[in-house]
Structure 1
C-alpha cells in the first residue's frame, strides 16, 4: 500500500506509456484509489495523457470506511493530484454499494455488482459514439462535452419497458445510487435514446425536457438510435459534465431601516425676562424652513402652528423681532422716574 512504488513504476516506464497515447483522442482511466498501484500510478498516467494532448476521462472508486483512515487519505491525496490532469472525473464511493445489495449478498458478488454497473455505463458511452442513429452522435460531440479541466462528471445508463417506460427509465437514470451527486447544475449534457422504431415523438420530448430542466443554460446534445431488438424497451445513456454547480438564488437585499421621525413638539412660550433673542442659524442650501411665531408680550400664549417661509422672509422676520426686542430692552433699561419725566416733557411739548 505504498503509493510511491506505483508512482515510481509509472515514471520509470514513461516513454512506453507515452507511446500508448500517440494518436489517441480519448482515454478512459478507471482505477480503485486507496492502494499503492491506483493511487500512485494513476496520477502519472493522467499527466502523461494530458501532455500527449489526449482527452482523459477518469472514473475512480473510493475505499470503504471500514478499510481505515490511511486508505481514505491515500485516495484523497491521489484525487487531488489527478484532477488537474483530467478533463472530466466521475467519483464512486464503495460505501454506496450497500444501497444496491442485500445484507446477505456474498462479498465477491457485491464487488462484481459495482464492476457490472461501471461496465454498463461505459458500454452506453461507447455505443453513443459508434452506434449509428436516426439522430447521430459522433466523437466530435463527445469531445465538445468533455473539453475542460477537472470537471465533475455524471455517467449513467438505464433501461425500462412497458406503458410507463419513459417515466421509469428517467427515474433510474437521474438518481444513480452509486454517485453522491446528480446532474443538477451541469454545464454540458450528452444523452442518447435507444428504442425500437415505434418510439413516439411525445416520449422523446418528455425525456429531453426532463433532462434539460435540470439546467436550461446547459449545452445539450442528444441522439436517437433505433434497434428492433428492443421491442417495448427503451434505453438512455447520459453523460453530464460540470455537475454540482447549481445556481443559488441571489440573496435579497435587506431593506434600509426607515429613519425615525422626531415627533413635532410645540415650542415653549417666550418668557417676559429681558433676554436678547438669539438669531436662529440659517441653512443657505435649503429653500424653505419652519419657524415658530413669537408669543405676545402681555400674556403667555402657546406658539402657533409652524409655517413655511423662504430664507428672505425669515431674515426679515428675524430682524423685525430683534428690533422690537431691542426697543423693549431700551425701554426697561431707563429708570422709572426718568421715564415719567420723559413722558411729561413729551406731553408738554405737544
Structure 2
C-alpha cells in the first residue's frame, strides 16, 4: 500500500506493550512513517535499554514472586507509571495500542493505558492478539479477562485470533505466522496514517474518522488487493474475508474504505469499489466514508483496506426487537395453554380415562402452606440455573 512521507493532520502515537507489542513496534519502525510517535512499554529493562529513552516506558514489577501467577501485575505496574504514560501522550490525538493478550504485561497494562488515553480525550484504537489454544486455558482465560477490562476503555478493539491463524494457515512456518500477525498490525497503522494524511488524493476529515470509530467497541479490519481485469472484485473479496480477525463484518453499521491504486485508476472505478462493497455487505443503510491515494509503483493493481464498526444504538434496537419477539412468543404460548385448558375442561375425567390417583391430584386444592413450599422450591431451582455451568 502507499505510504506517504507527509505528516498526518492529527498527532498519532503507537504504543507496543509487552514483548509481542514491542516486536510489532519494531516492525513498524522499519517503515518511513512521518510524524508518528512510536513507544515501547515493557518490564524488560534490557530490551528497553537499547531504545531511545524518549520512546520507552519502563514498568517496574515490584512483586516479582507473583509475576507468573497473576496477570494483574501488569495492571498494577501500569497504574504505578500512569504519570509517565500521561506525559508521553501529551498532544496525542489518535492512539493505537497493540499487545498480545494472555500473559501478564500486555493483558494487564493495555486496558489501563487505553482508559487513561480516553480520559485525556484521545481517540483510542486497540489491536490485540489472543493466544493459541495449545498455550493452555490459563492464558485463554487471562485473554478474555483482558478483553472484558478493555470494554469501554478503547473506542474500537481489533482482535487478531492466533487460533484462526493456525486453522486457516496450518502449513505456515512459525516464523512466518508471527510476521503475518505483525504485518496486520503494521497495515492497521498504515491505513489510519494514510487516511488522515494531507497528501492523499481524497482523505478523511477528522469528523468522519471520529464518527466512524468513536465508542464503537469490537471492530473488523481486512485488507485485499487485485491485479488485472477483475482486480476490484479480487480486492473487495480479500478485504471482506479476513481469516484471522475474530469479529465478523456482518451487521456492521459503519465502514471506512481506504483505496490505493495505480495512476490510471478512474473515479468510475472508485465508484465501482463502493458499489460492489455495498452489494457484498447487503446493507444499503451503512454509513460509508472513504479515502483514496495513488501509488506510482503499482501496475494495473488496486488495494483496499476496510475498517467496519458497529453502532451500539442499532445493537440495542435489535435487542429490543428480539425481546419483543420473545414477548409475542410468550403471549402465543399462553394463548395455546388457555385453549388447551378450555378443551380439557369440556371433558369429564371419566371420558379422558385418567387413573383415579391422577384425578385426585388434579382436584387437590393447594393451601397457603403448600403454595409457599412450592414457590420456594422453584426459586431454588431458578437460582441454580443462573449459575454458569463451569462453576457448578
Q: Which TM-score applies when normalising by structure 1?
A: 0.66
Distance 2:167 2:137 in 1: 22
Gaps of 5+ in 2: 1-67, 340-392
For residues 1-20 of structure 1, the C-alpha deviation after alignment (integer angstroms, 9 at most, x for no partner) is 43122112111111111112
Contact persistence 1:129–1:137 (CA under 8 A): yes
For 1:34, the equivalent position in structure 2 comes to: 102
Contact persistence 2:98–2:127 (CA under 8 A): yes
For 1:177, the equivalent position in structure 2 comes to: 243
Distance 1:82 1:180 in 2: 15
What root-mean-square deviation, in Å, do the aligned CA atoms of Structure 1 and Structure 2 show? 2.7
Query: 2:259 matched to 1:197?
Result: no
Distance 1:123 1:169 in 2: 17
Question: Which of 122, 136, 149 is matched with 1:68 structurally?
Answer: 136
Q: Which has the larger radius of gyration?
A: 1
Partner SS, residue 302 of structure 2: strand
For residues 76-103 of structure 1, the C-alpha deviation after alignment (integer angstroms, 9 at most, x for no partner) is 1111111121111111111011245342
For 2:297, the equivalent position in structure 1 comes to: 229
Contact persistence 1:59–1:89 (CA under 8 A): yes
What is the Cα deviation at residue 182 of structure 1?
2.8
Contact persistence 1:93–1:179 (CA under 8 A): yes
For residues 145-190 of structure 1, the C-alpha deviation after alignment (integer angstroms, 9 at most, x for no partner) is 11125x2211222211111101111110000001233322212111
What is the Cα deviation at residue 209 of structure 1?
1.5
Query: 2:172 matched to 1:110?
Result: no
Distance 1:43 1:200 in 2: 43
Distance 1:162 1:131 in 2: 29
Distance 1:81 1:35 in 2: 14
Contact persistence 1:96–1:178 (CA under 8 A): yes
Contact persistence 2:218–2:247 (CA under 8 A): no
Distance 1:181 1:164 in 2: 27
For 2:36, the equivalent position in structure 1 comes to: none
What is the Cα deviation at residue 108 of structure 1?
2.4
For residues 174-223 of structure 1, the C-alpha deviation after alignment (integer angstroms, 9 at most, x for no partner) is 00001233322212111121112322344222210222342222221112
For 1:157, the equivalent position in structure 2 comes to: 223
What is the Cα deviation at residue 231 of structure 1?
2.2
Distance 1:234 1:143 in 2: 26
Gaps of 5+ in 1: 260-350
Query: 2:151 matched to 1:58?
Result: no
Summarize the alignment of residues 318-337 of structure 1 with structure 2, pairs less than 5 Å apart. Answer: none
Aligned length: 256
What is the Cα deviation at residue 117 of structure 1?
2.5
Distance 1:133 1:169 in 2: 20
Contact persistence 2:259–2:304 (CA under 8 A): yes
Contact persistence 1:166–1:207 (CA under 8 A): yes
For residues 255-305 of structure 1, the C-alpha deviation after alignment (integer angstroms, 9 at most, x for no partner) is 999x9xxxxxxxxxxxxxxxxxxxxxxxxxxxxxxxxxxxxxxxxxxxxxx
Distance 2:295 2:196 in 1: 16
Contact persistence 1:154–1:183 (CA under 8 A): yes
